[in-house]
């Protein structure tokens, strides 16, 4: 069992043993269905605190050869699936949390060198007798080991997009990173499944389609994974009964995300905190100040502020999500800003109507605070100018 190659199941075990655990192992019915197929590369983007890391830990615990997770999963939904035994702890699994590597690196080149060095070191310990063509090249090393062992790899990458959030303006570094992932994952016989998760969908660079082999499931269109975005109505009702909470109050505060496949999706972090603490509160956004949201409102492209005010009042406004370039700096029209806010979780999206809206009271309060601050600052500027003119 290694830190990156074939990790254990301790992280997922902690989640299952927590006060509140909502079984989302049904997700693996989908991932099992695409193992060793042309659809084996998946990128799942969700807002922060929507269970992305828990899902990555779950997949690692299930597929990794570094542990025996039969008992851990025995009482969960996936154990009822006919393919449960076929894939359980059968693969050389590489788990990478890119945020962890980023925190120890000053640039993307250093980050990638650290990733390759750490993983290759563990691969060499696991397969000491395999002759490697280039022991400094991760893709070559994995190919050599697969050719010798005939054991395929599953690669799970958490916080895959942190580079695009940290190095927002460094296009060259971003392309180096995308090319690394393409070289590692695209059209490789040793990859049976690649699962990436983050906040942003895959970055678009015009004709530069480094990761075009990925199927993407996002807050715009989660497809078959819609019920795994957050908590469903049925799941929240069960929690309300257990913790004696009012489902209507919970719905007003934390529901509102809606997809074609699942009409009601709740914010997991907010629901769990509310149940555990026994009271309503601003739980999802408590780790980020309203100033972060205010930055985007302040751009005020094409009357963006007026649209936000309409949404605060309960209206939905039209949006074109198709032109968004999947980064946090390329804003040409208000639709770019609105689409980013969908991915960040500040706005819900009606796929059929192509409109955006504020999903619940928790987030509405965030928008109100941002607007109040805007107007206070504007008033102070006006007052300051008056005093200067006297």
Q: Which of 310, 308, 318 is nearest to 346 (CA)?
A: 308
Q: Is 197 in contact with 52 (CB distance < 8 Å)?
A: yes
The pLDDT of residue 171 is 87
Q: What DSSP element (H or E) covers 317?
A: strand 317-318
Ranges of residues in the chain whose predicted pLDDT is under 70? 204-209, 286-292, 373-390
Q: Given this model, what pLDDT does residue 95 score?
A: 98
pLDDT digits (tens, 9 = 90+) for 43-75: 999 999 999 999 999 999 999 999 999 999 999
Backbone angles phi, psi at 349, to 5 degrees: -140, 125
Residue with token string 């985007």: 296
pLDDT value at residue 291: 59
Question: Distance between alpha carbon 47 and the CA centroid of its chain, in Å?
Answer: 6
Nearest partner of 359 among 239, 265, 222, 289, judged by Cα: 265
C-alpha to C-alpha distance for 117 and 172, rounded to whole angstroms:
22
- Tokens found for residue 323: 């032109």
**Could you identify the residue written with the tokens 């555990």?**
276
Q: Give the model's pLDDT for residue 169.
A: 87
Q: Give the pTM.
A: 0.92
Contacts of 197 (CB under 8 A, 6+ apart): 43, 44, 45, 46, 52, 53, 55, 56, 157, 158, 159, 160
Task: Give the three-state DSSP class for 218.
Answer: coil
Question: Exposure pattern of 334-366 as b/e (b: 16+ CB <10 Å)?
Answer: bbbbbbbbbbbbbbbbeeeeebbbbbbbbbbbb
pLDDT tens-digit map of 171-189: 899 989 999 999 999 999 9
Q: What is the DSSP string of 243-304?
A: HT--HHHHHHHH--B--SS-S-EE-HHHHHHHHHHTS----TTTTS-HHHHHHHHHH-GGGH
Closest CA to 163 of 232, 108, 239, 114: 108
Mind listing the domains of the chain with CATH numbers? Answer: 10-217 (3.40.50), 230-277 (no CATH), 290-377 (1.10.10)
């Amino acid at each position: 069992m290694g830190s990156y190659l074939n990790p254990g199941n301790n992280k997922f075990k902690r989640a299952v043993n927590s006060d509140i655990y909502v079984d989302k192992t049904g997700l693996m019915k989908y991932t099992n269905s695409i193992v060793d197929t042309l659809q084996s590369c998946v990128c799942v983007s969700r807002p922060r605190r929507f269970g992305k890391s828990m899902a990555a830990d779950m997949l690692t615990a299930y597929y990794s050869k570094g542990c025996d997770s039969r008992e851990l999963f025995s009482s969960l939904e996936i154990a009822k699936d006919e393919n449960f035994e076929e894939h359980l702890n059968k693969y050389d699994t590489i788990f990478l949390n890119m945020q962890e590597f980023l925190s120890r690196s000053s640039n993307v080149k250093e980050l990638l060198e650290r990733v390759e060095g750490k993983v290759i070191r563990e691969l060499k310990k696991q397969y000491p007798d395999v002759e490697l063509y280039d022991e400094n090249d991760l893709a070559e090393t994995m190919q050599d080991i697969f050719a010798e062992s005939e054991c395929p790899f599953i690669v799970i990458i958490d916080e895959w997009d942190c580079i695009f959030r940290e190095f927002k303006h460094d296009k060259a570094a971003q392309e180096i990173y995308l090319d690394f992932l393409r070289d590692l994952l695209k059209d490789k016989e040793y990859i049976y499944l690649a699962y990436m998760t983050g906040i942003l969908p895959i970055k678009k660079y015009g004709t530069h389609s480094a990761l075009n082999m990925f199927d993407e499931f996002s807050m715009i269109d989660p497809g078959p994974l819609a019920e795994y975005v957050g908590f469903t109505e049925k799941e929240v009702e069960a929690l309300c009964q257990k913790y004696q909470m009012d489902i209507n109050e919970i719905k007003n505060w934390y529901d509102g995300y809606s997809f074609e496949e699942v009409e009601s999706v709740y914010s997991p972090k907010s629901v769990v905190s509310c149940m555990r603490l026994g009271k309503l509160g601003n739980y999802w956004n408590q780790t980020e100040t309203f100033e972060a949201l205010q930055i985007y409102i302040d751009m005020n492209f094409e009357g963006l502020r007026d649209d936000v005010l309409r949404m605060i009042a309960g209206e939905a406004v039209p949006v074109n999500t198709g032109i968004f370039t999947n980064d946090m700096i390329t804003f040409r029209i208000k639709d770019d800003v609105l689409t980013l806010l969908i991915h960040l979780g500040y706005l819900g999206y009606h796929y059929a109507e192509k409109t955006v809206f504020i999903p619940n009271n928790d987030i509405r309060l965030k928008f109100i605070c941002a607007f109040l601050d805007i107007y206070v600052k504007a008033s102070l500027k006006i007052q300051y100018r008056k005093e200067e003119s006297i």
